[in-house]
A = this chain, B = another copy of it.
Amino acid sequence: MNITRNINCLKDVPTQVKNKDLVALRRRQIVDAAVELFIANGFHKTTTRQLARAAGLSIGSLYEYVESKEDILYLVCDAIHAEVEQGVAQALERAQTVANPLGEVIREYFKVCHEMNDHILLIYQETQSLPSKWRKVVLENEIRITGLFTSVLMQLMEDGQLIQMDGNCLDLIAHNITVLGHMWTFRRWFLARHYTLDQYVDMQTAFILGQQNVAVKRPPASKRKITKKEF
């Protein structure tokens, strides 16, 4: 799927098997099986036997490729992040070619979130189940993806397509974009009742760009009803 991912796997998670290509192949089987089972039943309710079976290995073989069940969860989280990152990187490339790059990036990123709904949810739910060593790596992956948005915003600001603002502010907007994409996954059961994905994208883009300037600036006092029980 992704070179980075495979390098990570080999680097971090010990294995008894010497043949590196075989390790990559078997771990692919394991991860593909695990993603489905974890999404369907959660990490803790999935047994190592189910994992081995679904991956087409015996339980003994499974443990030649990982040292523990948590190893498998880490491989899963890492694979998901690699796929999200690839999706975002593609979105950035495509956005270079259009008149409104930021809008395009947001739209493409939200589509990635839409397609990877269950995967993103899984990371929200199970990151805590990782041993702290790997939890750190997974959280840093999250930040690296947010950093892609920071770069876009920075470049747009230098080009004069965004107003000037300090780096902290810009960075926070990158986090907001990231999380508002995730929001479509963890509130979708509600949001999708009221909006299509396209409507959601349009409204959130307007929100992020501050185009629907929410606050009215000091309405004339005469027109304001001031009552005690205002809301």
Contacts and interface: CB of A to CB of B under 8 A. Distances in A.
Interface of A: 42, 44-45, 92, 96, 101-102, 121, 124-126, 128-129, 139, 142-143, 151-152, 154-156, 159-163, 165, 168-169, 171-173, 175-176, 179-180, 183, 186-187, 189-191, 194-195, 199-200, 203-204, 207-216, 219, 223-225, 228-231
A184 to B, nearest CB: 10
A173 B230 contact: no
State how many copies of this chain the complex holds: 2
B216 A210 contact: no
Contacts of A165: 212
A96 B163 contact: no
Contacts of A159: 224-225, 230
Nearest to A186: B124
A27 to B, nearest CB: 24
Given A176-B180, A215-B211, A96 B161 contact: no
B152 A204 contact: no
Contact of A210 (B156, B172, B213): B213
Contacts of A42: 128-129
Grouping DSSP codes into helix (H, G, I), strand (E, B) and loop, the A interface class, with mixed when no group exceeds half, is: helix
A229 B152 CA distance: 11
B172 A102 contact: no
Contact of A160 (B124, B172, B216): B216
A162 to B, nearest CB: 6
B209 A163 contact: no
Nearest to A191: B175
Given A96-B231, A179-B187, A228-B96, A219 B168 contact: no
Q: Ordered nearest first, which 6 A-B pairs have the shortest CB separation?
A: A155-B231, A210-B210, A44-B44, A210-B213, A209-B215, A160-B219
A192 B148 CA distance: 20
A129 B102 CA distance: 37
Contacts of A195: 168, 172
A128 B125 contact: yes
Nearest to A229: B96
